[in-house]
Amino acid sequence: MKRRKFINNIALGAVGTFGFPTIVPAHVLGGKDAPSNKINIGQIGCGRIARTHDLPSTWRYEKARIMAVCDLDRNRTVDTKKLVEEYYTKKTGQSNYIDVKMYDDYREMLLNKDIDAVMISTPDFWHAQPAMEAALAGKDIYLQKPTSLTIKEGRQLAELIKKTGRILQVGTQQRSSSQFRRAAELVRNGRIGKLHTVKVGLPGDPGGPVVQAMPVPKGFNYDMWLGSTPYIPYTELSVHPQVGYDRPGWLRMEQFGAGMITGWGQHHYDSAAWGMDTELTGPISVEAVAEFPKSGVWNVHGDFMAKAEYANGITMYTSGGFPNGIRYEGTEGWIFVSRGDYSATPSDPTSKVRAKAIDASNPAILESVIGEKEIHLYHSDEQHGNWLDCIESRKEPISPIEIGHRACTVCLITHVAMKIPRKLNWDAKKEQFINDAEANRYLSRTQRAPYGTDRIKF
């Protein structure tokens, strides 16, 4: 489908102030019990995260209805259609409650005006483009992190969402976990004194074996899967398993992402910024050292140490040598927050010890009551539920795109620092390195036609 034809088709609805569709969502039409009184959702990307996280976290809400699925691997599309239909059959007792539509190309899904919103659970390098095109099609969006592959396309996405007024929720779901909000509120309200240091624990990834090119599996659109990245021969270890939904190999390839610095990094940097009060800005400098595999198919970073300095006097360190989580250190104590467990030995992921989801240098810190006139942060009980509520209310979700883009930016400039062995000065307002042409070359990538955000005009 040619892009011009696509843009013309999605613009058939009413045109708003900025020349973008202001399509009335299907769920606001009809009476309370009408089939259209649901938020009709299409799932883009039917891999591990979609099946274990995004779909189960969304279909449990009565207001949501998963009505379409799309993947470039036909086997996964068929598999996920079955998964969704079996869930609704069990939930409703009706075997014909829904016939989930299947799409091989998400752009065709976006032309379906019965679909109000989409969840994008694709590989990292396929986040920004479908999110932008979904916004142009008048859809609201749940976007898995990281928000973009480069800072340039992240900024493009943030500007487009701002202009179209779509509701975009970034999948940094730690914001909807009570312990992360509680930690950030305590820090912001001075319970550990003046915050001066933040330590973020993030693991690295191992290298992989040398592999040989393989035939592309039947029913898999490999060329489109590569998207805007360069063409390379197909291997299963560089894409995803053909049987099952184990962790895919593309996560460990720099062509498709940056490794754990973006994989876990956007979660923790987003949460850390909440406590640091730096959500809408960024560091003034970054520097890092990292190990990278010297051979094999997987080439993202392994062990590393990074340092970022902020204008408010806070220094943030990141390393796999720290427990997986965030430790805020102030002049009067510390708070550590995590999801509740972490690797005791970063080099041995099978070695686990249980950690408290939130801990402090003094138990009294955690018992402190936040006063009525103190800082109270956005409260959400669950990320997907908050997204659905905001689709209805049109209020800003707990993880909006601008904040998501800023957190992703910290990940991406840290990755640049891993490549350049010196201190890099960063201008968060201009979103570029200061007087450093070498580092600024990493802010964007050449995009392989006909894919990429550079070809989207708005």
The yes-or-no verdict on residue 1 having pLDDT over 90 is: no
3-state secondary structure 148-201: CCCHHHHHHHHHHHHHHCCCEEECCHHHHCHHHHHHHHHHHCCECECEEEEEEE
Tell me the torsion sign for CA atoms 213, 218, 221, 225.
negative
pLDDT for residue 23? 43
Give backbone dihedrals phi and psi of 165, rounded to 5 degrees, phi first: 75, 20
Q: Cα separations (Å) of 38 from 60, 88, 188, 398?
A: 13, 14, 38, 22
Place of tokens 């909807």: 176
Q: Report the DSSP pairing between strands 432-433 and 358-360.
A: unpaired
Reported confidence tier of residue 99, pLDDT bands at 50, 70, 90 = very high
Residue recorded with tokens 């011009």: 4
Provide the token pair at 265. Answer: 């990094």
User: How many C-beta neighbours within 10 Å does residue 154 have?
Assistant: 27
Q: How far apart are CA 363 and CA 359, in angstroms?
A: 8
Backbone angles phi, psi at 66, to 5 degrees: -80, 115
Rg (CA), the chain: 22
- Give the integer Cα–Cα distance in Å for 229 and 326: 33
State the pLDDT confidence band at 341, using cuts at 50, 70 and 90. low
What digits encode the pLDDT tens for the residues 172-221?
A: 999 999 999 999 999 999 999 999 999 999 999 999 999 999 999 999 99
pLDDT digits (tens, 9 = 90+) for 369-428: 999 999 999 999 999 999 999 999 999 999 999 999 999 999 999 999 999 989 999 999
DSSP-based three-state secondary structure for 359: strand
Residue 259 phi/psi, 5-degree rounding, is: 90, -155
CB 346, CB 200: distance < 8 Å? no
pTM: 0.90
For residue 444, report the phi and psi dihedrals to the nearest 5 degrees: -145, 170
* Token couple for 288: 């890092």
Write out the two tokens for 440.
């600024």
| Mean of per-residue pLDDT scores for the chain | 91
Structure tokens at 401: 């795109």
Cis preceding-peptide flag for 209 (omega within 30 of 0):
no
Alpha carbon dihedral 226, 232, 237, 240, in 10-degree steps, equals 10
Q: What local confidence, expressed as pLDDT, does residue 5 receive?
A: 55
- What are the two backbone dihedrals, phi and then psi, of residue 335, each rounded to the nearest 5 degrees? -135, 130
Angle (CA) 240-150-282 rounded to 5° is: 125
What residues contact 441, with CB distance under 8 A and at least 6 apart?
Answer: none
Q: What tokens were used for 164?
A: 């179209």
358-384: pLDDT as tens digits:
999 999 999 999 999 999 999 999 999
State both tokens at 190.
């001075």
Q: What is the DSSP annotation of 360-373? A: ESSHHHHHPPPPTT
Nearest by Cα to 357 from 191, 172, 181: 181
Please report, rounded to a whole number, the percentage of residues in the chain having pLDDT higher than 90. Answer: 86
Q: pLDDT at position 286, please?
A: 98
Close Cβ partners of 87 (under 8 Å, ≥ 6 residues apart)? 55, 59
